[in-house]
C-alpha cells in the first residue's frame, strides 16, 4: 500500500493523463524501495487468463487463475495481456493495489484496433477518408468502449507504412504515405488518450520500426532498409504519435538490417528516446524478446539470461508474454550481465506511464460510469458515417448510384455475413444492429433479391442462379474480395489476384448483359484488372465495420456521395509489389512504349488505381493552379469548381518533387491536402500551406535543408495535375 500512503501525503490533481498523481521524485522514491524481484515484476506482462487460457478472448466469464493471483500479490507481474471483463479487471487490480507490498496498479492491454463493441472500418479504410477529425473521433470511441471490456490500454495505432499489399497487416495501417500516416497517428493518439472519459486508456504506437517493409510482403520476415528511407518514410508516423503524447511504443518482431528490433539499441535508445524524445514505456511484441535467443528464430543471444540483458540494455521496458525477464532478468543482473541501473530506467518508465494514466488515484474501472459515457446509437451512427466516407469509388460509367425503383440482383459472398463485414481484429463486434450489406440495402429501401451463387475461394459458380437473378433485375450488384479475416497478422498473400471462382463469376455476370456493379470487401488492395475491365462500376468498401452494411448501402443508393481516396495503390499484378507512388527516381525513367526505360515486359508500369485516387457522383474542375514561396511557407492555391449535378467533397492534394538533391528524391511527395465541400456549380479557391521546413529531408543521418528547383502539383490524385514550379534559395 506504499502508493496509497504516498498519495495521501501529496496534493493530487484530478485524474487524467496530464494530471499525474506522483511527482518524478516520488516515483524515484518508490523505485528505491522496490526489491529486484518487484522491479522485474513490473517489467513482466502475462496473459490475464494465466497459463490456462489464451489471452485473445474476453475473460470476463473466467475464474481468476490462482497462480496468477499469487504472482500479482508477490509483485511479480506489471501488466496483463487480454481484456478480462470489468469484474475480473477489478479483482486483479484489488490484489495488485491492496494485497501486494507496494500496491502498484496493473495495466491491462488488448488490441482494440478499429473499435470494441462498435467496429469502425479497418484502419486502411478509415485512412481513405483523409480526415483527422474522423480519425480522432474513432480513437475516442475506442477510449469509451475499451474499459467496458476490462482493459485500460490498447495496442493501437499501428503506424507502419505499408507499401506492399501482400503483407496482410496493411489492413491495420494508414497506407503507404508518411504524411497521411503521421496525421492519422497523431489524431488517433489524441482520440484514444482523451481525458474526456471516465477511464482514460493508453495508446501504443507499433511496430517500431519498418515492419511494413517485410521482405516479399511475408509477415515476420527480415527488413533491409537504408537509413534515409527509415528516416524519411518510416519514422515520421512514430514521431507524430510521440508528439501527440503516446504513452507506449511496441518494437517489432523483425530484424532491421540484421539486428532484431527487440534488442536494437540504436533504434530503441538512440532514435526512439534520443532523437524522437519518447518518454513513455516500451512493450515488446508477443514473446519477441525470447525469440531473439532461440537458435531457430533470430538466434542473436546465447540463452534467456543474455537476451534479457541485451533487451534491457537496448531499452525494452516490458516483456510481453515471454518468460525471459520473468525467469532470468534478476539473475542476469546478479551476474553483472546488465546493470540494476538499466533495470531501474525501465521500471521508472513503466511507473511514470501508470502514474500518467491516473491509475495511482483511480485504479479500478467503475462500470456504471464507463457505461454512462457510451451512447451506442451515436457510436453506431459514427461507424455508419465512417463506413460511407471510407469507401472509394474506383470506377463508374453511370451505373451508380442505383436509381430509385430499380430491381437489383445482389450476388456474391459476404453480403449477409457480419464477420466478413467487420474484418480482422474485431472479436467483440456487437453494437445494437450490426447490419450486413443485405440489411443495409433493406434499410435504404432497395428492391433486391440476394442469391449467393459463389464463394470467396474454391467451389464453382452457380451460373444458373446468376442468370435467373439477373433476368428479373435491372442491375446486378456483385460482391467480391477477401473473407473478413483474410487480411491481418500473418496473412500474407503471394497472389493478389481474385481467386478463380470470383473470376468465373465476373464472366457469368458479364454474360447476363445487365449493368454490373461490383462491391469489393477486402482488407488490402487486390490485383483486379479483370473486374476493372468488366464491371460498370466498382465500389471499394473494404471491411467497413459494424455499421458497414448501412454505410455501403448509403453510398450505393446515393444517399451519400462517395469521397474516399486511396491511401495505397492497386496493382495490375502482384509482381509490381511493393508498389508506391512516392518511389525514388531511377535512371531511365519510364516512358510508355520506349524500350530502354524502366518497365515490365508483360504488363503496365504504373498502378491500376493510384495513390490519392477516388471518384464521386459529381465532377470537379481545377483551374488557376499556383504555388508560391511566401516567407517560410509554401502556398498552393487552385480554383475548384463542382461541375456536376450534385453536392460533393473533393480532396485537393498538394505534391512536390525536388529536382536536384544530395540523394535521389521521390518522383512526387504529398505535402498537404484539404477537403472541400461544394454544391453543384459552386466554386472555391482552396489554399494549402506547407511549412518549408517540411521539405527538408534526411540523407542517411544528415538532415538536409531543402533548396533549389522544385516541381509541384495541386491535383486530385498522385498522377494528375498541371506541373507547377518554385525554387527555394
Contact positions toward ligand NOJ, by CB under 6 A? 111, 155, 206, 285-286, 489
Which single residue is written with the C-alpha cell 460533393? 648
CB of 285 vs ligand NOJ, minimal distance in Å: 5
CB of 425 vs ligand NOJ, minimal distance in Å: 9
Q: What is the DSSP letter of 327?
A: I
Provide φ and ψ at 726, rounded to 5°.
-160, 165
Q: How far is CA 123 from CA 118, 170, 564, 670, in A?
A: 14, 9, 13, 20
CB 672 within 8 A of CB 707: no
Nearer to ligand NOJ, 286 or 376 (CB): 286
CB of 253 vs ligand NOJ, minimal distance in Å: 6
Residues 6+ apart with CB under 8 A from 309: 329, 332, 337, 338
Provide φ and ψ at 120, rounded to 5°.
-80, 175
For residue 292 the three cell numbers come to 531473439
For residue 460 the three cell numbers come to 464453382
Q: Measure the N-to-C terminal CA separation of the chain; round to a whole number of Å.
A: 63
Long-range CB pairs of 589-598 (<8 Å, 24+ gap) are 589/667
Which single residue is written with the C-alpha cell 475480473? 88
CB of 170 vs ligand NOJ, minimal distance in Å: 13
**Coil, helix or strand at residue 650:** strand
* Residue 285 falls in the annotated catalytic set: yes
Nearer to ligand NOJ, 251 or 548 (CB): 251
Which single residue is written with the C-alpha cell 475499451? 146
Nearer to ligand NOJ, 168 or 413 (CB): 168
Crossing angle of the two packed helices 2-9 and 24-32, in degrees rounded to 10: 150
CB 375 within 8 A of CB 547: no
Nearest-CB residue to ligand NOJ?
155
Provide the residue count of the chain.
Answer: 729
**If we measure between CA atoms, which residue out of 524, 551, 565 comes closest to residue 383?**
551
Nearer to ligand NOJ, 155 or 167 (CB): 155
Catalytic residue among 111, 177, 219, 285: 285
Say how far apart CA 86 and CA 89 lie, in whole Å: 5
Nearer to ligand NOJ, 159 or 579 (CB): 159
CB of 91 vs ligand NOJ, minimal distance in Å: 22
CB of 111 vs ligand NOJ, minimal distance in Å: 5
CB of 80 vs ligand NOJ, minimal distance in Å: 12
Provide φ and ψ at 154, rounded to 5°.
-120, 140
Query: Residues 347, 190, 279, CA angle at the centre, nearest 5°?
Result: 25
CB of 286 vs ligand NOJ, minimal distance in Å: 4
Which single residue is written with the C-alpha cell 501525503? 9
Nearer to ligand NOJ, 26 or 285 (CB): 285
**Coil, helix or strand at residue 289:** helix
Nearer to ligand NOJ, 21 or 184 (CB): 184
Nearer to ligand NOJ, 111 or 361 (CB): 111
So which residues are the catalytic ones? Answer: 285
Amino acid at each position: 500500500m506504499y502508493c496509497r500512503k504516498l498519495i495521501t501525503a501529496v496534493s493530487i490533481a484530478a485524474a487524467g493523463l496530464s494530471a499525474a498523481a506522483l511527482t518524478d521524485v516520488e516515483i524515484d522514491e518508490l523505485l528505491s524501495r522496490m526489491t529486484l524481484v518487484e522491479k522485474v515484476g513490473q517489467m513482466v506482462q502475462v496473459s490475464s487468463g494465466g497459463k490456462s487460457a489464451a489471452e485473445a478472448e474476453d475473460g470476463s466469464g473466467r475464474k481468476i487463475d490462482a497462480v496468477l493471483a499469487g504472482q500479482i500479490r508477490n509483485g511479480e507481474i506489471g501488466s496483463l495481456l487480454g481484456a478480462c471483463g470489468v469484474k475480473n479487471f477489478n479483482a486483479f487490480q484489488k490484489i495488485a493495489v491492496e494485497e501486494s507490498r507496494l500496491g502498484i496498479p496493473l495495466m491491462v492491454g488488448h488490441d482494440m484496433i478499429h473499435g470494441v463493441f462498435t467496429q469502425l472500418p479497418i484502419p486502411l479504410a478509415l485512412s481513405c477518408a483523409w480526415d483527422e477529425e474522423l480519425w480522432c473521433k474513432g480513437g475516442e470511441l475506442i477510449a469509451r468502449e475499451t474499459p467496458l471490456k476490462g482493459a485500460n490500454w490498447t495496442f493501437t495505432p499501428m503506424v507502419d507504412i505499408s507499401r506492399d499489399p501482400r503483407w496482410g497487416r496493411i489492413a491495420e495501417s494508414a497506407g503507404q504515405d508518411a504524411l497521411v500516416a503521421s496525421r492519422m497517428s497523431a489524431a488517433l493518439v489524441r482520440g484514444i488518450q482523451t481525458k474526456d472519459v471516465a477511464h482514460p486508456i493508453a495508446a501504443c504506437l507499433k511496430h517500431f520500426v519498418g515492419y511494413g517493409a517485410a521482405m516479399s510482403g511475408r509477415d515476420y520476415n527480415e527488413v533491409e532498409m537504408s537509413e534515409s528511407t527509415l528516416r524519411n518514410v518510416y519514422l515520421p508516423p512514430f514521431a507524430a504519435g510521440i508528439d501527440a503524447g503516446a504513452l507506449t511504443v511496441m518494437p517489432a518482431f523483425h530484424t532491421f538490417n540484421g539486428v532484431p528490433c527487440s534488442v536494437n539499441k540504436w533504434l530503441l535508445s538512440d532514435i526512439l528516446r534520443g532523437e524522437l524524445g519518447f518518454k513513455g514505456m516500451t512493450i515488446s511484441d508477443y514473446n519477441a524478446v525470447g525469440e531473439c535467443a532461440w537458435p531457430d528464430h533470430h538466434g542473436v543471444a546465447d540463452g534467456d539470461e543474455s537476451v534479457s540483458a541485451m533487451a534491457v540494455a537496448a531499452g525494452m521496458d516490458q516483456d510481453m508474454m515471454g518468460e525471459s525477464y520473468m525467469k532470468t532478468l534478476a539473475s542476469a543482473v546478479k551476474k553483472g550481465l546488465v546493470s540494476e541501473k538499466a533495470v531501474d530506467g525501465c521500471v521508472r518508465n513503466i511507473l511514470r506511464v501508470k502514474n500518467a494514466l491516473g491509475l495511482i488515484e483511480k485504479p479500478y474501472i467503475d462500470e456504471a460510469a464507463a457505461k454512462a459515457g457510451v451512447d451506442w446509437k451515436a457510436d453506431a451512427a459514427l461507424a455508419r458515417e465512417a463506413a460511407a466516407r471510407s469507401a472509394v469509388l474506383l470506377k463508374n460509367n453511370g451505373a451508380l448510384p442505383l436509381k430509385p425503383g430499380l430491381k437489383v440482383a445482389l450476388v456474391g459472398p459476404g453480403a449477409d455475413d457480419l464477420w466478413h463485414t467487420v474484418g480482422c481484429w474485431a472479436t467483440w463486434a456487437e453494437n445494437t444492429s450490426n447490419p450486413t450489406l443485405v440489411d443495409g440495402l433493406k434499410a435504404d429501401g432497395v428492391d433486391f433479391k440476394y442469391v449467393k451463387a459463389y464463394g470467396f475461394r474454391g467451389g464453382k459458380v452457380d451460373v444458373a442462379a446468376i442468370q435467373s437473378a439477373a433476368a428479373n433485375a435491372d442491375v446486378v450488384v456483385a460482391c467480391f474480395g477477401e473473407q473478413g479475416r483474410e487480411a491481418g497478422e500473418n496473412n500474407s498473400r503471394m497472389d493478389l489476384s481474385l481467386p478463380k471462382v470470383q473470376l468465373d463469376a465476373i464472366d457469368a455476370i458479364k454474360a447476363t448483359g445487365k449493368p454490373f456493379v461490383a462491391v469489393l470487401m477486402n482488407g488490402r488492395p487486390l490485383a483486379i484488372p479483370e473486374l476493372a475491365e468488366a464491371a460498370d462500376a466498382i465500389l471499394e468498401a473494404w471491411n467497413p465495420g459494424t455499421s458497414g452494411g448501412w454505410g455501403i448501402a448509403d453510398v450505393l443508393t446515393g444517399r451519400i456521395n462517395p469521397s474516399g481516396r486511396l491511401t495505397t495503390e492497386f496493382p495490375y499484378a502482384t509482381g509490381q509489389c511493393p508498389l508506391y507512388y512516392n518511389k525514388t527516381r531511377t535512371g531511365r525513367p519510364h516512358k510508355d512504349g520506349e524500350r530502354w526505360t524502366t518497365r515490365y515486359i508483360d504488363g503496365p508500369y504504373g498502378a491500376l488505381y493510384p495513390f490519392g485516387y477516388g471518384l464521386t457522383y459529381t465532377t470537379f474542375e481545377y483551374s488557376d493552379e499556383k504555388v508560391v514561396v511566401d516567407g517560410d511557407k509554401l502556398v498552393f492555391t487552385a480554383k475548384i469548381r463542382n461541375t456536376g449535378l450534385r453536392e460533393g467533397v473533393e480532396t485537393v492534394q498538394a505534391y512536390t518533387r525536388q529536382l536536384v538533391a544530395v540523394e535521389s528524391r521521390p518522383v512526387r511527395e504529398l505535402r498537404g491536402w484539404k477537403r472541400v465541400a461544394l454544391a453543384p456549380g459552386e466554386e472555391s479557391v482552396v489554399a494549402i500551406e506547407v511549412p518549408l521546413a517540411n521539405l527538408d529531408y534526411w540523407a542517411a543521418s544528415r538532415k538536409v535543408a531543402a533548396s533549389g528547383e522544385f516541381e509541384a502539383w495541386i491535383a486530385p490524385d498522385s498522377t494528375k495535375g498541371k506541373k507547377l514550379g518554385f525554387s527555394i534559395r
